[in-house]
């Protein structure tokens, strides 16, 4: 056992002595090992910020029923809940207030929502307070760091994320978020931004700064909260809407101080404020939706007492009929990387889709489940969180047209909040539980069939959720080949004489039965075939799935396509056409890296060289250099460096003999063709042109390109990729270099 330093022994002895006056074991349990350790190294006169929790907290679930009520009845139940919480906490706090007065502690913040009090006290005072039988526990008032924004890799305004969640479909029906209030718990909001300022609810009950740094008007010194808010309800000052629900209103609490840290007591006070913003329980001014783009990212896959710090708060807001969303965390791609508070059973966690190559592929940083708290599906669902266009700080209004591309689950979460706002404007009296259920049951299924710990229930779909709540038939068609939801089954390149299998999945994404007609296979021709069909003339109950199995078996080179028709009574989609595509083809042989050698130390400018790709059928082959500071090639740079041109004389000399035999009667043409073949063969073996911005050179034996601007002190991973005209890709082995 390691001994404490000599300078800590007096303080440690003091704490032990104080505890020994009464039941030491009971006091240690109240204080906990972390706080005890801190007190042991704190000088006697130094004050420590703590949260004191009293015995017998109220079970909020038994006090109110607003999650099952609507309108005026819900407001009455919320009022009862707030009155009960305040009265109970005030009564329980009386012995503590006497003890604080005895010690001359005059500054303390009541936290009636959790039946506690935040204060600062010396080690001796804290130990003395813990002796009160009415005190249940004392914990450190800890801090949380602001989530980092993952740098964007592209530039230019674009709002494809708004279309991807299907928000404009609800706008067309007249639902833009009107009548809905969304609360943002973040760094604040820049009220001077033209896309946000007009949507602030206004008044003394729409802004709360627990630190008192900016008590009058919404302010944001960091930008994170401004970016989050833009994605929920931002307008179209940029020329296109950046927010999902542009007619919703916002209120905000500044849980992060200007220094970027959030103290637990301030977060408790903020949750408490949201339940009763005007400090009058008889007026119902609480928000409908609460967006939280923060969490314990430094401690993934943990659900202990420390990480459950805010569970009672979330339970109280949920009991009051609010929907509470949290960012799932940028702790992926490892499995079991959930974070608190997103992994609470009461929270609604949102992950991110979007990569440099696809808008619906899971983002490498997005946290994976299962939930560390209860083992359930984590996250609940996903939304676009890769390079999404949103509002940014305006420097006090000096730069009103301020925007940026943001990446992270912090920015996928507000889009789900926005979809919830659209649905609440369409169904004002919907309960929080029904709202969450509609999103999960109507989401576009991605990844493995059914809910999983990567995509959750799938990609949020505003129109599908609307149909679910409206009792309208709705069909969700995906397939087993990525991207799953594009209604194209792309078998890709399959070697002639072999076969590949795939399947189409049909799911009833509505709350009522879905009737399917006979599957239309009239346009299916060889080399495609339907292996089995479990969908024709079937009635699917809500949430049920059926499958159609397909096969592609090309007997010769070439490109092929066909169509599959799925009939149903789904609203606005009576017949869905699924396109089948594939190519009979032999994949190319990938370029082989030559230099630098794996593990070699290089400068910031590097010349990469490789042996060029080859193709047995003589297809044109595009070659790419791919490099990244990440082993999984997330945020990689991909550059086309050279193309091996098409040639009738491929690596195996295919087709040349047959062509020459057919042209043997024309001696002059045959001779000319032979010369052309020889030139093309030489080009295929050693030629190639440059592509992109690279300085590419070629020789008969090898090709090379130079790359500048690599970051010193960084290990890079690089590889070569070959892609033929049929889309078949092969990759070389991966090498590493250390830039110095």
Do 456 and 488 reside in the same domain of the chain?
Answer: no
Please report the pLDDT score of residue 61 as a whole number.
Answer: 61
Q: How many CB atoms lie within 10 A of CB 62?
A: 8
CATH of the domain at 242: 3.40.50.200
Instruction: Classify residue 521: in a domain, yes or no.
Output: yes
CATH of the domain at 649: 2.60.40.10
Please report the pLDDT score of residue 71 as a whole number.
Answer: 55
* Strands 545-552 and 528-533, bridge-based pairing: antiparallel
Please report the pLDDT score of residue 527 as a whole number.
Answer: 97
Please state, in angstroms and rounded to a whole number, the distance separating the CA atoms of residues 111 and 132: 18
Please report the pLDDT score of residue 626 as a whole number.
Answer: 96
pTM of this prediction?
Answer: 0.77
Do 689 and 621 reside in the same domain of the chain?
Answer: yes
Please report the pLDDT score of residue 33 as a whole number.
Answer: 85
- Tally of domains in the chain: 4
**Residue 91 bridge partners (DSSP):** none
Helices vs. strands in the chain: H and E counts, helices first: 14, 34
Do 191 and 209 reside in the same domain of the chain?
Answer: yes
Instruction: Classify residue 323: in a domain, yes or no.
Output: yes
Do 193 and 319 reside in the same domain of the chain?
Answer: yes
Do 262 and 378 reside in the same domain of the chain?
Answer: yes
Please report the pLDDT score of residue 298 as a whole number.
Answer: 92
Q: What angle do CA 640, 641, 645 make, to 5 degrees?
A: 95
Nearest 5°: phi and psi at 465? Answer: -65, -35
**Residue 185 host element (H or E):** strand 181-186
Nearest 5°: phi and psi at 412? Answer: -80, -35
Instruction: Classify residue 635: in a domain, yes or no.
Output: yes
Please report the pLDDT score of residue 682 as a whole number.
Answer: 40
CATH of the domain at 50: 3.30.70.80
**Residue 126 host element (H or E):** helix 123-130
Q: Cβ contacts of residue 349 below 8 Å, gap of 6+? A: 325, 326, 327, 328, 338, 342, 343, 367, 371, 378, 379, 380, 456
Nearest 5°: phi and psi at 50? Answer: -135, 165
Please state, in angstroms and rounded to a whole number, the distance separating the CA atoms of residues 654 and 670: 17
Do 602 and 578 reside in the same domain of the chain?
Answer: no
Nearest 5°: phi and psi at 339? Answer: -130, 155
Do 366 and 387 reside in the same domain of the chain?
Answer: yes
Do 461 and 569 reside in the same domain of the chain?
Answer: no
Query: Which of 470, 503, 522 delimits the end of a domain?
Result: 470
Q: Cβ contacts of residue 210 below 8 Å, gap of 6+? A: 253, 254, 255, 265, 266, 269, 270, 273
**Residue 119 bridge partners (DSSP):** 50, 108
Q: Is 611 exposed, middle or buried (0-12, 13-18, 19+ CB in 10 A)?
A: middle
Q: Which domain holds residue 331?
A: 162-470
Three-class SS of residue 660? Answer: helix
Do 732 and 611 reside in the same domain of the chain?
Answer: yes
Q: Cβ contacts of residue 587 below 8 Å, gap of 6+? A: 493, 495, 724, 728, 729, 730
Three-class SS of residue 77? Answer: helix
Query: Which of 557, 584, 611 delimits the end of a domain?
Result: 584
Please state, in angstroms and rounded to a whole number, the distance separating the CA atoms of residues 700 and 695: 17
Contact 509, 474 (CB under 8 A): yes
Q: Is 308 exposed, middle or buried (0-12, 13-18, 19+ CB in 10 A)?
A: middle
**Which stretches does DSSP call E strand in 315-459?**
323-327, 348-353, 381-384, 388-391, 403-406
Q: How many CB atoms lie within 10 A of CB 210?
A: 22
Do 308 and 394 reside in the same domain of the chain?
Answer: yes
Contact 363, 332 (CB under 8 A): yes
Q: Which residues of 239-274 are buried (b: 16+ CB within 10 A; e: fewer)?
A: eebbbbbbbbbbbbbbbbbbebebbbbbbbbbbbbb
Please state, in angstroms and rounded to a whole number, the distance separating the CA atoms of residues 130 and 271: 25
Mean pLDDT, the chain cut into blocks of 10 residues (740 residues total): 38 48 66 89 93 84 54 76 91 93 93 94 94 93 74 46 94 94 98 97 97 96 97 93 96 96 96 96 94 96 93 93 96 96 97 93 96 97 96 95 95 98 94 94 93 97 95 94 92 92 96 96 96 97 96 94 96 91 92 96 96 90 95 88 71 36 35 40 39 47 93 96 90 96
Q: Cβ contacts of residue 460 below 8 Å, gap of 6+? A: 165, 381, 382, 383, 415, 416, 419, 439, 443
Instruction: Classify residue 154: in a domain, yes or no.
Output: no
Do 221 and 336 reside in the same domain of the chain?
Answer: yes
Q: What angle do CA 672, 676, 677 make, to 5 degrees?
A: 115
Nearest 5°: phi and psi at 705? Answer: -150, 150
Whether cis (ω within 30° of 0) applies to the bond prior to 637 is no
CA atoms within 13 A on the CB side of 302: 13
Please report the pLDDT score of residue 241 as a whole number.
Answer: 94
Instruction: Classify residue 310: in a domain, yes or no.
Output: yes
Please state, in angstroms and rounded to a whole number, the distance separating the CA atoms of residues 716 and 192: 42
Query: Which of 141, 176, 197 delimits the end of a domain?
Result: 141
């Amino acid at each position: 056992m390691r001994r404490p330093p000599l300078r800590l022994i007096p303080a440690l002895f003091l704490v032990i002595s104080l505890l020994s006056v009464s039941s030491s074991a009971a006091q240690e349990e109240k204080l906990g090992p972390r706080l005890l350790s801190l007190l042991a190294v704190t000088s006697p006169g130094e004050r420590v910020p703590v949260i004191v929790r009293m015995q017998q907290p109220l079970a909020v679930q038994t006090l109110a029923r607003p999650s099952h009520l609507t309108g005026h009845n819900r407001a009455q139940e919320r009022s009862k809940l707030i009155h009960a919480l305040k009265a109970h906490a005030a009564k329980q706090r009386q012995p503590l207030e006497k003890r604080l007065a005895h010690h001359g502690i005059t500054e303390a913040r009541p936290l009636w929502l959790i039946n506690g009090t935040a204060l600062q006290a010396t080690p001796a005072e804290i130990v003395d307070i813990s002796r009160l039988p009415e005190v249940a526990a004392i914990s450190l008032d800890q801090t949380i760091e602001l989530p980092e924004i993952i740098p964007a890799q592209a530039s230019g305004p674009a709002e494809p994320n708004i279309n991807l969640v299907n928000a404009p479909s609800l706008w067309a029906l007249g639902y833009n978020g009107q009548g809905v209030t969304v609360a943002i718990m973040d760094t604040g909001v820049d009220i001077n931004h033209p896309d946000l300022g007009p949507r602030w609810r206004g008044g003394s009950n729409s802004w709360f700064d627990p630190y008192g740094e900016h008590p009058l008007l919404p302010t944001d010194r960091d930008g994170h909260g401004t970016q989050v808010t833009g994605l929920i309800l931002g307008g179209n000052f940029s020329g296109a809407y950046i927010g999902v629900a542009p007619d919703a209103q916002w209120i905000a609490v500044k849980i992060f101080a200007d220094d970027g840290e959030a103290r637990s007591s301030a977060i408790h006070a903020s949750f408490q404020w949201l339940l009763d913003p005007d400090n009058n329980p008889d007026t119902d001014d609480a928000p409908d939706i609460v967006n939280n783009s923060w969490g314990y990212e430094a401690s993934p896959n943990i659900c202990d007492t420390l990480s459950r710090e805010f569970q009672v708060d979330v339970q109280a807001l949920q009991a009051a009929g609010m929907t509470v969303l949290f960012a799932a965390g940028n702790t992926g791609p490892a499995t079991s990387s959930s974070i608190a508070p997103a992994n609470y059973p009461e929270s609604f966690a949102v992950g991110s889709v979007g990569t440099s190559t696809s808008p619906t592929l899971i983002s490498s940083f997005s946290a994976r489940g299962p939930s560390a708290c209860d083992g359930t599906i984590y996250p609940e669902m996903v939304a676009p969180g890769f390079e999404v266009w949103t509002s940014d700080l305006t420097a006090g209004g000096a730069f009103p047209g301020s925007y940026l591309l943001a990446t992270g689950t912090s920015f996928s979460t507000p889009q789900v909040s926005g979809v919830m706002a659209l649905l609440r404007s369409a169904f004002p009296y919907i309960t929080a539980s029904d709202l969450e259920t509609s999103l999960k049951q109507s989401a576009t299924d991605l990844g493995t069939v059914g809910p999983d710990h990567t995509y959750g229930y799938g990609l949020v779909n505003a129109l599908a959720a609307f149909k679910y709540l409206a009792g309208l038939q709705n069909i969700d068609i995906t397939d087993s080949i990525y991207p799953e939801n594009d209604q194209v089954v792309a078998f890709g390149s399959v070697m002639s004489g072999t076969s590949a299998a795939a399947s189409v999945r049909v799911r009833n994404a509505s709350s009522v039965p879905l009737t399917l007609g006979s599957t239309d296979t009239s346009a299916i021709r060889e080399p495609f075939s339907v292996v089995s069909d479990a969908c024709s003339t079937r009635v699917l109950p809500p949430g049920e799935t059926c499958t159609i199995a397909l096969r592609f078996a090309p007997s010769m080179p070439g490109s092929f396509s066909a169509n599959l028709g799925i009939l149903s009574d789904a609203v606005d989609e009576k017949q869905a056409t699924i396109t089948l595509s594939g190519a009979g083809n032999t994949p190319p042989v990938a370029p082989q890296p030559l230099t630098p050698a794996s593990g070699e130390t290089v400068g910031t400018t590097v010349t990469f060289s490789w042996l060029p790709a080859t193709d047995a059928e003589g297809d044109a082959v595009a070659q790419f250099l791919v490099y990244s500071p990440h082993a999984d090639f997330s945020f990689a740079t991909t550059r086309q460096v050279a193309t091996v041109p098409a040639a009738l004389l491929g690596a195996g000399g295919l087709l040349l003999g047959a062509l020459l035999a057919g042209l043997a009667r024309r001696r002059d043409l045959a001779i000319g063709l032979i010369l052309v073949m020889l030139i093309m063969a030489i080009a295929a073996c050693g030629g190639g042109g440059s592509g992109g911005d690279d300085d590419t050179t070629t020789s008969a034996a090898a090709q090379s390109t130079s790359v500048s601007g690599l970051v010193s002190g960084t290990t890079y991973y690089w590889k070569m990729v070959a892609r033929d005209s049929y889309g078949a890709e092969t990759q070389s082995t991966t090498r590493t270099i250390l830039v110095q």
